[in-house]
C-alpha cells in the first residue's frame, strides 16, 4: 500500500520546508526502482532559505533526480519580506548555485506556467536531472489573522502594514482569474 495513493500526490507537510526533502526522497525511491516519474516540489520563497531545501537540491543534483523545485515567490514569507530572504538577485539563482538549470516565470501567466513545467518534466524524464522554476507571484493576504486586515480577504479594521497595498494592487491587476 502506498502512502501517496493512486494519484501519487503527497499531502501538505508542516513545517513547509520539509516538502522539498520529502519529494526528493520519493524521487530517489522511484529512481532506484527504475520508475520513470517526474516529481515536483513546490515551496514558498521562505522555505527556500531552509537547510532542508538546500539538502534536497544537493541530493537531487548529485543523483540527477527527475524533480523540479518550484519556488513560489509570493513577495512575503512568514514575517520576512523578500528583500530579507537572500543575497541572490532572484530566487532562481539558488538553483544555479547548485549547478541546477533554473529560470524565472510570471506566475500570473497560465500558458507560461504550463510550458515551463512541461519543459522541466521533459528535461527530467530524458535524464537531464533536476531543475528549479522561480515563479513570481503574489500572496493575496497575510499568513495569519493577526498579521493583516486582509487575511480573510476583506478589511477588518486591523492596522495595515503586513501586506504591501501597492504590490497587492499590481498583482491583483495581473490575476488571470479577475
Q: What is the pLDDT of residue 130?
A: 98
Residue 63's nearest CA partner among 128, 122, 119 is 128
Whether residue 7 is contained in a domain is answered as: no
Q: Looking at the domain assignment, is residue 104 inside a domain?
A: yes
> Measured between alpha carbons, how far is residue 121 from residues 20, 52, 109, 150 in Å?
16, 22, 18, 36
Q: H or E stretch including 30?
A: helix 18-32
Residues annotated as catalytic are 139, 143, 162
Instruction: Say what the pLDDT of residue 145 is.
Output: 58
- Residue 40, domain member (yes or no): yes
Q: Which of the pair, 63 or 44, is modelled with greater confidence?
A: 63
Question: What's the pLDDT score for residue 37?
Answer: 94
| 63 within some domain | yes
CATH number at residue 54: 3.40.50.970
Number of domains in the chain: 1
3-state secondary structure of 144: coil
The average confidence (pLDDT) of the chain is: 82
Asked if residue 174 is part of any domain, the answer here is: no
Query: What is the domain extent for residue 36?
Result: 18-75+85-137
Q: Which stretch of 21-25, 53-57, 138-142, 173-177 has the lowest confidence by average pLDDT?
A: 138-142
pLDDT of residue 69: 95
Q: Decide if 131 is inside a domain.
A: yes
- The set of cell numbers assigned to 38 is 517526474
- What pLDDT is stored for residue 2 in this prediction? 37
Q: How large a percentage of the chain has pLDDT more than 70? A: 73
Q: What is the pLDDT of residues 9-43, one digit of tens each?
A: 666 666 677 889 999 999 999 999 999 999 999 98
Query: What pLDDT shows up at residue 47?
Result: 82
Residue 145 CA from chain centroid, whole number:
23
Query: In angstroms, what is the C-alpha Rg of the chain?
Result: 17
Give alpha helix (H) positions in 64-159: 93-96, 110-125
Query: Is residue 37 included in any domain, yes or no?
Result: yes
How far does Cα 46 stand from its chain's mean position?
A: 9
Averaged pLDDT for residues 101-118: 96
Residue 70 lies in a domain: yes
Amino acid at each position: 500500500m502506498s502512502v501517496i495513493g493512486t494519484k501519487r500526490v503527497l499531502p501538505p507537510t508542516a513545517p513547509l520546508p520539509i516538502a522539498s526533502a520529502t519529494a526528493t526522497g520519493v524521487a530517489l525511491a522511484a529512481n532506484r526502482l527504475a520508475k520513470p516519474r517526474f516529481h515536483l516540489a513546490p515551496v514558498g520563497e521562505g522555505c527556500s532559505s531552509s537547510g532542508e531545501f538546500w539538502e534536497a537540491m544537493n541530493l537531487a543534483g548529485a543523483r540527477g533526480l527527475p524533480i523540479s523545485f518550484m519556488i513560489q515567490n509570493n513577495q512575503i514569507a512568514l514575517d520576512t519580506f523578500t528583500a530579507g530572504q537572500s543575497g541572490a538577485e532572484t530566487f532562481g539563482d539558488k538553483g544555479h548555485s547548485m549547478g541546477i538549470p533554473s529560470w524565472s516565470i510570471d506566475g500570473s501567466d497560465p500558458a507560461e506556467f504550463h510550458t515551463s513545467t512541461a519543459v522541466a518534466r521533459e528535461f527530467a524524464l530524458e535524464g537531464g536531472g533536476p531543475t528549479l522554476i522561480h515563479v513570481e507571484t503574489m500572496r493575496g493576504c497575510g499568513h495569519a489573522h493577526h498579521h493583516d486586515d486582509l487575511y480573510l480577504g476583506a478589511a477588518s479594521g486591523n492596522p495595515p502594514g503586513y501586506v504591501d497595498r501597492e504590490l497587492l494592487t499590481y498583482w491583483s491587476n495581473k490575476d488571470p482569474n479577475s
